[in-house]
């Protein structure tokens, strides 16, 4: 640790309470990595703010000493967002974990950034409400807003950005701003809500979020449909979408991944390319939608369609799907996970999945294809041995091939995981001249570049 850091840490200790500032090696190591294959790097210090004012003090101190500031939620990111490659201060939001207000009649909640999505849903259930965005991991809402997370339900309810009505943010100079308001729509001023969501800690630290929530639907029905090939499964979901059937979830799990699901979750599902679907609505409408969906799936060669109406079987089904990433990690001890994350216009999805499948099979690495195919977003999960440089290189090349395929067809290199450090090399290619505009915005709002430096832009 250099003198600058030591001085800054001393100041932080004098400003905050005992237990709010830690230079303990274990604490720092826990915030030196995420859930992906990206290389670790230690912060100089970990701080645990308890209020917006604490965050403000931390950022002003960091600025005075020109130290990087890296916000940290639960460390579930997949592209290295939270790894402090330039050292500095990791701001751990685990002590800012209160649900501050439920505005039941307005379908709004106000939360601190450290609240996790399952924690919020537990509170909301009492009101007959729920928060839909579901990235699989039990991430914090602050982290989910920072990466514009989405997941299984976005095909119906939208992504994180669609839920944010207002953010309280501490910016680089320690100013506290609000990016929005409580109204359902506004044409007032520039759309800072949209800009700050997905900014990955590079424009400010979120200290409060006001989010849209939804009434628990009158009727919910889940279905599993298995297909002879991954292509027929993708064609089925595309046809269902194009028929205008309002699905609430539309997930693809390939054969290899169904095996992992059964191994890890103890389920006995058919080990075939499978669509996991869900429908939300009123009883009568749902019945009509599901009949129509069934007819389309059968036309697309569905071999078996099972429905789950009761709460327990539905929960089991979605838990199995959610545990898939952990199933792979658990199934391949010692290996690290690399996940591709492209998203394409729906007409290009079947081709993209087919292309990935061919190259994945040729690669010969352990892995599978899963995805939020209702949005045109899919992942290839690859388990790689980080000590084998050839394997790492092959995996990187595979990832790049998939990204290039998507970019050439109007897609994006990341549908939901974010840029972090993993997708930086594609930013110029994807955004062209607009990348310069992004850099201008970063320089205007964080002129010294201290907020999560060298991430995103």
Cβ nearer to a second copy, comparing 271 with 400: 400
Q: Which of 76, 399, 414, 452 binds a second copy (CB under 8 A)?
A: 414
The answer to whether 425 contacts a second copy (rule: CB under 8 A) is no
Question: Measured from the CB atom, is 270 or 346 closer to a second copy?
Answer: 346
Asked if 319 and 265 touch (Cβ cutoff 8 Å), the reply is yes
Smallest gap from Cβ 6 to a second copy, in A, equals 32
Nearer to a second copy, 176 or 366 (CB): 176
Instruction: Tell me: does residue 377 bind a second copy (CB under 8 A).
Output: yes
C-alpha closest to that of 419 among 82, 92, 39:
82
Applying the rule CB under 8 A, the residues between 10 and 69 that interact with a second copy are: none
- Which is closer to a second copy, CB of 93 or CB of 130? 130
376 binds a second copy (CB under 8 A): yes
* Footprint on residues 309-348 left by a second copy (CB under 8 A): 341, 343-347
Choose, by CB under 8 A, the member of 11, 208, 251, 416 that binds a second copy.
416
Alpha-carbon 316 to chain mean position? 21
By CB under 8 A, tell whether 286 contacts a second copy. Answer: yes
Q: Minimum CB separation from a second copy for residue 389, in Å?
A: 28
Applying CB under 8 A, the site for a second copy has a residue count of 94
The DSSP 8-state label assigned to residue 51 in this structure reads S
| Exposure on the CB side of residue 120, measured as CA atoms within 13 A | 33
Question: At residue 430, what are phi and psi to the nearest 5 degrees?
Answer: -70, -45
Q: Does 162 bind a second copy (CB under 8 A)?
A: yes
Comparing CA positions, the residue from 168, 157, 110 lying closest to residue 135 is 157
Six-digit token string for 419:
């840029």
- DSSP conformation class of 412: B
Contact characters 118-157, a second copy, x per CB under 8 A: -----------------------------xxxx---xx--
Instruction: Kindly tell me which of 150 and 226 has the beta carbon lying closer to a second copy.
Output: 150
Angle formed at CA 405 by CA 402 and CA 411, multiple of 5 degrees: 100
For a second copy, the closer CB: 72 or 426: 426
In sequence order, what are the residues at sequence separation of 6 or more whose Cβ sits closer than 8 angstroms to the Cβ of residue 196? Answer: 145, 167, 169, 179, 203, 204, 206
| Cα–Cα separations (whole angstroms), residue 352 to 120, 203, 234, 359, 399 | 35, 33, 10, 11, 13
Radius of gyration of the CA atoms of the chain, in A: 22
């Amino acid at each position: 640790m250099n003198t600058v850091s030591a001085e800054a840490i001393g100041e932080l200790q004098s400003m905050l309470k005992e237990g709010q500032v830690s230079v303990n090696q274990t604490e720092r190591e826990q915030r030196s990595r995420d859930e992906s294959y990206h290389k670790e790097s230690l912060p100089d210090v970990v701080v645990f703010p308890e209020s917006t004012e604490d965050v403000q003090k931390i950022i002003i101190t960091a600025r005075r000493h020109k130290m990087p500031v890296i916000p940290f939620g639960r460390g579930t990111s997949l592209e290295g967002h939270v790894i402090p490659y330039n050292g500095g201060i990791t701001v751990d939001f685990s002590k800012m974990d209160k649900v501050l207000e439920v505005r039941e009649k307005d379908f709004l909640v106000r939360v601190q950034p450290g609240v996790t999505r399952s924690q919020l849903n537990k509170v909301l259930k009492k009101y007959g409400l729920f928060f839909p965005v579901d990235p699989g991991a039990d991430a914090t809402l602050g982290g989910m807003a920072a990466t514009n997370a989405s997941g299984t339900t976005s095909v119906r309810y939208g992504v994180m950005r669609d839920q944010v009505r207002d953010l309280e943010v501490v910016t680089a100079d320690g100013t506290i701003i609000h990016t929005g308001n409580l109204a359902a729509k506004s044409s007032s001023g520039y759309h800072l809500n949209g800009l700050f969501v997905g900014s990955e800690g590079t424009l400010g630290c979120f200290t409060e979020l006001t989010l849209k929530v939804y009434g628990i639907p009158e009727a919910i029905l889940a279905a599993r449909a298995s297909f002879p090939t991954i292509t027929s499964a993708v064609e089925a979901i595309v046809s269902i979408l194009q028929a205008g059937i309002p699905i609430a979830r539309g997930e693809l799990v390939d054969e290899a991944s169904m095996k992992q699901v059964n191994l890890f979750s103890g389920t006995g599902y058919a080990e075939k390319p499978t669509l996991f679907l869900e429908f939300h609505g009123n009883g009568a409408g749902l019945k009509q939608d599901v009949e129509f969906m069934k007819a389309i799936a059968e036309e697309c060669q569905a071999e078996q369609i099972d429905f789950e109406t009761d709460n327990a079987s539905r929960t089991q089904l979605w838990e199995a799907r959610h545990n898939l990433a952990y199933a792979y990690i658990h199934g391949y001890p010692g290996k690290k996970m690399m996940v591709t994350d492209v998203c394409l216009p729906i007409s290009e999805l079947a081709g993209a999945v087919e292309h990935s499948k061919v190259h994945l099979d040729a690669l010969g690495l352990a892995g599978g294809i899963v995805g939020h195919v209702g949005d045109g977003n899919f992942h290839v999960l690859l388990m790689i041995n980080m000590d084998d440089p050839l394997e790492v290189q092959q995996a990187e090349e595979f990832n790049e091939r998939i990204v290039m395929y998507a970019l050439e067809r109007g897609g994006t290199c990341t549908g939901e995981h974010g840029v972090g450090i993993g997708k930086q090399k594609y930013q110029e290619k994807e955004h062209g001249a607009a990348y310069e505009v992004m850099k201008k915005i970063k320089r205007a709002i964080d002129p010294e570049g201290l907020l999560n430096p060298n991430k995103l832009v």
